[in-house]
Amino acid sequence: MVEKWKSKSGMVSGIEIRLIAKNEGAENIVYIDDLGYSFIPLEGGRTSWKLTDFYTFQNGTNVGNWRIDVTLVDASNYKVESTQLINVEPAPNLDVFSVVAPNMMKEGQESIISVYVKNEGPKSIEENTPINVSLTLYQGEISSQSIKMVKAISGLKKGETKKVDFTWRANYGDPSFNGKWSAIARVNEKGEIPEWQMTDDWNTASMEVEPVADMEIRVHEIDFSPSHPNKNDTVNITAIIHNIGYNPATAEINFLVKEKGARKYTLIPGGSIEKIVGKRDFVVLSVPWKAEQNGTYCIKIKIDCDDEYNKENNVAVKDIRVGGGIDASPPSIQ
């Protein structure tokens, strides 16, 4: 078309594309102005130009032969028109028609969230074609703090439904949301598979997480007084026990000791204490221990709590030296 135009001077001000269906009165018009799209020289010359991949057209029911009318016009009203026939094939239509999740989850437990995807279109997707399905969990608004998981299914026949299961270890999250979470599932999120419609490619669900406790012991908060005792001195072992979770709980705290290099710990007399620790609170505990022999000892503090989110922060070990000269070497902290 532009070849016919090259003998004239002018600038393209717009393109109108008219798609006319076989059905009488069915028409689809796309108008593209010169601000949003760029023409590319064809084969290095400047007399032929092309505009590629500016419109994707597919249909579910009105398939077959369509007519495309292209009109080019410049500021002086010089016009070039061209008509071509195109064949429109049927397209699939992916639908996330359900997201199934437990209404109430307990923090720390593994939960299954199921996403159901159906092909509502008249065309199947081949088995060797991966279809991405994503699940995003968030509180408030989707942000960098959101949790996103992605899986893929292989093909989807017309009318077929497939279930995709996502596993999530429930987390109470930001306390200002009181454990409430939203989930949004999407299919074909990047539009890599041409579809008839993409308005039903997503669905949502709401969930609530019940908080539990989370006990924690920190090595740097274990203190010895005196810090370098002599033989037969009584040492006060002090530790701070935190509950960083959002639910109070009862915890059993055990103070244990062994000589460095020995295999087994033994419970310090009077070193087993049961305490209720409030949510986002702490308690300070102190246990006396008599250092009966010179040497280096490992003091271990272990927290037992039946219902909590994370047990990996429940143990701390710190060394103490009894007798001997002043030890200027750094302590062994685990």
Q: Please give the pLDDT value at position 205.
A: 96
Q: Is 330 inside any structural domain?
A: no
Q: Is 115 inside any structural domain?
A: yes
**Does residue 100 sit in the same domain as residue 205?**
yes
| Domain extent at residue 9 | 2-88
Q: Is 329 inside any structural domain?
A: no
User: Per-residue pLDDT tens for 251-260?
Assistant: 999 999 999 9
Query: Structurally, how many domains does the chain consist of?
Result: 3
Q: If you average pLDDT over every residue of the chain, what do you get?
A: 85
Q: Is 225 inside any structural domain?
A: yes
**Does residue 168 sit in the same domain as residue 243?**
no
User: Per-residue pLDDT tens for 206-244?
Assistant: 999 999 999 999 999 999 999 999 999 999 999 999 999
Q: Please give the pLDDT value at position 8.
A: 44
Q: Is 265 inside any structural domain?
A: yes
User: Per-residue pLDDT tens for 49-62?
Assistant: 666 655 556 566 66
User: Per-residue pLDDT tens for 124-153?
Assistant: 999 999 999 999 999 988 887 899 999 999
Distance CA 145, CA 176 (A): 15
**Does residue 82 sit in the same domain as residue 111?**
no
Neighbours of 9 (CB within 10 A): 9
Q: Return the CATH number at 248.
A: 2.60.40.10
pLDDT surpassing 90 at residue 245: yes
Percentage of the residues of the chain whose pLDDT score is greater than 90: 63
Domain boundary residue among 188, 210, 232?
A: 210
pLDDT surpassing 50 at residue 34: no
pLDDT surpassing 60 at residue 30: no
Q: Please give the pLDDT value at position 6.
A: 44
- Residue bearing tokens 């959002």: 246
**Does residue 145 sit in the same domain as residue 175?**
yes
Distance CA 254, CA 276 (A): 14
**Does residue 100 sit in the same domain as residue 83?**
no
Range in 157-161, 195-199, 247-251, 328-332 with the lowest mean pLDDT:
328-332
Q: Is 333 inside any structural domain?
A: no
Query: For residue 201, what is the DSSP state?
Result: S
Domain boundary residue among 57, 88, 119?
A: 88
Contacts of 94 (CB under 8 A, 6+ apart): 117, 118, 119, 120, 121, 131, 156, 187, 188, 193, 195, 198, 200, 201
pLDDT surpassing 90 at residue 162: yes
pLDDT surpassing 80 at residue 204: yes
